[in-house]
């Protein structure tokens, strides 16, 4: 019997929610933000901290590092030396600081498109070049497809001395891939032979589907920079906490300097307490039930599209809660379809253009099942009529 209620969620309209209050007149299936209350143990930890009543500058103590290290060691076999960790306010600030620290303006940063939109802005904002190595689509049949890395393309781009970094999304948003150890080993081989630094964004690492296993990139490439946060798995993005694992001392010093230059070196007490509570036995129990619920939502979403829009295949979802749908058969570009669905279905989805791939949309299925089903029926009805 379930201990946690994912079928009922608080009304977020009027709460200052970026997801719900940006367009209060539509059902939001867009930004990667769940509608579920976070784990009860996190709420209890935050309530206790609020009751203290003083919210001054935060000292990140040993209990924080113990929670982080213990979680990744016990769950993923990833042994993190706490002396190699730099904390910051989020994975996007972390990525921007790492690029600032390690890539010269004008140098190329490789990304594997379609990919998280903030990769593009983080590269551009630091005066660097976006170098695309598009993922290869593979058809699976029965309304499904998947992606593979283009290792020949990656080899070619890494061999160019003007490209000095690869941003890896592990698991991959929005392609939904949970990269295998073998795939990540090939990335390491190529990058290391050409002196390309790999930076791995692993913010979705806890959100794998049944049958798939997250492989921490840091267990394969000891020189990599790895960015971690509990925010996606525990729905705590607004508490602003993340960690950068930087094994090389010179790299760590450069990243730490960039973190301070960008003024994202301080964190708040709520993010610290939330991480400690998340990375606990109670947090793990809640996460286990969340993952089962998200899998149920995915199966329902996949089946609705198969039944009502067989011409619109979906990427097999191995990780994240963000299905990726091919809408090319509809005859509208993704930006136009996003607008049409808001106007006529009252549902907001993400256009694939922002991830570097027109002809696709991204859905967020991390909400109560009844709400999701209602929104999907409206979406597919409108799409089928176009």
Tens of pLDDT, residue by residue over 170-219, are: 999 999 999 999 999 999 999 999 999 999 999 999 999 999 999 999 99
pLDDT higher than 90, residue 290: yes
Cα–Cα nearest to 90, from 218, 224, 203: 203
Tell me the CA distances in angstroms from 68 to 16, 61, 384, one per residue in order. Answer: 30, 12, 47
Q: Which class for 151: exposed (0-12), middle (13-18), buried (19 or more C-beta within 10 A)?
A: middle
pLDDT higher than 90, residue 263: no
- d(CA 185, CA 179) in angstroms, rounded, equals 10
pLDDT higher than 90, residue 262: no
Mean pLDDT, range 125-143, rounded to an integer: 97
Mean pLDDT, range 284-310, rounded to an integer: 98
Q: CA dihedral in degrees (340, 342, 343, 345; nearest 10)?
A: 90
- d(CA 115, CA 351) in angstroms, rounded, equals 12
pLDDT higher than 90, residue 130: yes
pLDDT interval class at 276 (50, 70, 90): very high
User: CA geometry: angle at 265 spanning 264 and 271, to 5°?
Assistant: 85
Cα–Cα nearest to 327, from 307, 351, 346: 351
**Dihedral of alpha carbons 95, 100, 102, 103, sign:** positive
303-345 residue pLDDT tens: 999 999 999 999 999 999 999 999 999 999 999 999 999 999 9
145-161 residue pLDDT tens: 999 999 999 999 999 99
Helix residue spans in the chain (DSSP H): 18-21, 40-52, 62-76, 91-102, 117-125, 151-158, 181-194, 231-234, 249-261, 269-278, 281-308, 334-344, 369-385
Of the listed ranges 20-34, 59-73, 253-267, 273-287, the least confidently predicted one is 253-267
Instruction: Determine the pLDDT at residue 99.
Output: 98
Instruction: Determine the pLDDT at residue 230.
Output: 98
Centre a 10 Å sphere on the Cβ of residue 346 and count the other Cβ atoms it contains. Answer: 15
pTM to 2 decimal places: 0.97
Adjacent-strand bridge partners of 198? 166
- d(CA 303, CA 310) in angstroms, rounded, equals 10
Rg (CA), the chain: 20
Average pLDDT, the chain: 97
Q: Say if CB 245 and CB 80 are below 8 A apart.
A: yes
Tell me the CA distances in angstroms from 368 to 49, 81, 373, one per residue in order. Answer: 29, 38, 9
pLDDT higher than 90, residue 265: no
Tell me the CA distances in angstroms from 307 to 12, 312, 345, one per residue in order. Answer: 31, 10, 18
DSSP 217: G
Residues of the chain above pLDDT 70, percent? 100
Mean pLDDT, range 107-133, rounded to an integer: 98
Please enumerate in sequence order all residues whose Cβ is within 8 A of that of 368, keeping only pairs 6 or more positions apart, or say none: 6, 7, 8, 9, 35, 36
And the tokens for 356?
Answer: 């570097």
Rounded to the nearest angstrom, the gap between the alpha carbon of residue 239 and the centroid of all alpha carbons in its chain is 16
Kindly write down the DSSP assignment for every residue of 21-66, as one continuous string. HSSTTSEE--SS---S---HHHHHHHHHHHHH----PPP--HHHHH
Kindly write down the DSSP assignment for every residue of 304-339, as one continuous string. HHHHH-TTS-EE--SBSS--EEE-GGGSS-HHHHHH
Instruction: Determine the pLDDT at residue 2.
Output: 80
- d(CA 256, CA 262) in angstroms, rounded, equals 10
66-91 residue pLDDT tens: 999 999 999 999 999 999 999 999 99
Mean pLDDT, range 117-143, rounded to an integer: 97
Strand 197-201 to strand 108-111: parallel, antiparallel, or no bridges (unpaired)? unpaired
217-232 residue pLDDT tens: 999 999 999 999 999 9
- d(CA 233, CA 71) in angstroms, rounded, equals 13
pLDDT higher than 80, residue 1: no
């Amino acid at each position: 019997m379930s201990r946690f209620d994912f079928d009922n969620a608080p009304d977020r309209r009027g709460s200052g929610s970026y997801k719900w209050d940006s367009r209060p007149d539509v059902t939001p299936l867009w930004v990667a933000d769940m509608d579920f209350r976070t784990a009860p143990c996190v709420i209890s930890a935050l309530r206790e901290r609020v009751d203290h009543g003083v919210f001054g500058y935060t000292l990140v103590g040993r209990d924080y590092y113990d929670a982080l290290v213990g979680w990744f060691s016990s769950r993923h076999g990833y042994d993190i030396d706490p002396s190699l960790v730099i904390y910051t306010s989020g994975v996007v600030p972390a990525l921007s600081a790492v690029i600032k620290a390690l890539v010269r303006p004008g140098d190329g940063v490789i990304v594997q498109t379609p990919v998280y939109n903030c990769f593009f802005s983080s590269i551009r904002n630091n005066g660097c070049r976006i170098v695309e190595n598009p993922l290869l689509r593979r058809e699976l049949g029965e309304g499904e497809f998947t992606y593979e890395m283009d290792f020949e393309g990656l080899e070619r781009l890494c061999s160019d001395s003007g490209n000095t970094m690869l941003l890896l999304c592990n698991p991959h948003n929005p392609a939904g891939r949970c990269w295998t150890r073998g795939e990540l080993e090939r990335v390491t081989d190529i990058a290391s032979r050409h002196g390309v630094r790999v930076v791995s964004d692993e913010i979705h690492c806890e959100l794998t589907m049944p049958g798939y296993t997250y492989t921490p990139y840091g267990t394969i490439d000891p020189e990599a920079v790895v960015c971690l946060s509990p925010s996606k798995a525990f729905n705590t993005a607004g508490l602003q906490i993340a960690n950068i694992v930087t094994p090389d001392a010179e790299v760590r010093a450069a990243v730490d300097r960039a973190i301070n230059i960008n003024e994202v070196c301080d964190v708040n007490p709520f993010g610290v307490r939330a991480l400690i509570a998340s990375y606990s036995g109670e947090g793990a129990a809640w996460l286990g039930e969340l993952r089962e619920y998200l899998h149920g939502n995915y199966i329902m979403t996949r089946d609705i599209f198969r039944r009502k829009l067989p011409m619109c295949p979906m990427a097999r979802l191995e990780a994240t809660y963000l299905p990726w749908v091919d809408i090319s058969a509809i005859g509208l570009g993704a930006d136009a379809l996003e607008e049409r669905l808001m106007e006529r279905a009252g549902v907001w989805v993400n256009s694939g253009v922002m991830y570097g791939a027109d002809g696709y949309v991204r859905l967020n299925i991390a909400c109560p099942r009844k709400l999701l089903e209602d929104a999907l029926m409206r979406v597919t009805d409108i799409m089928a009529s176009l």
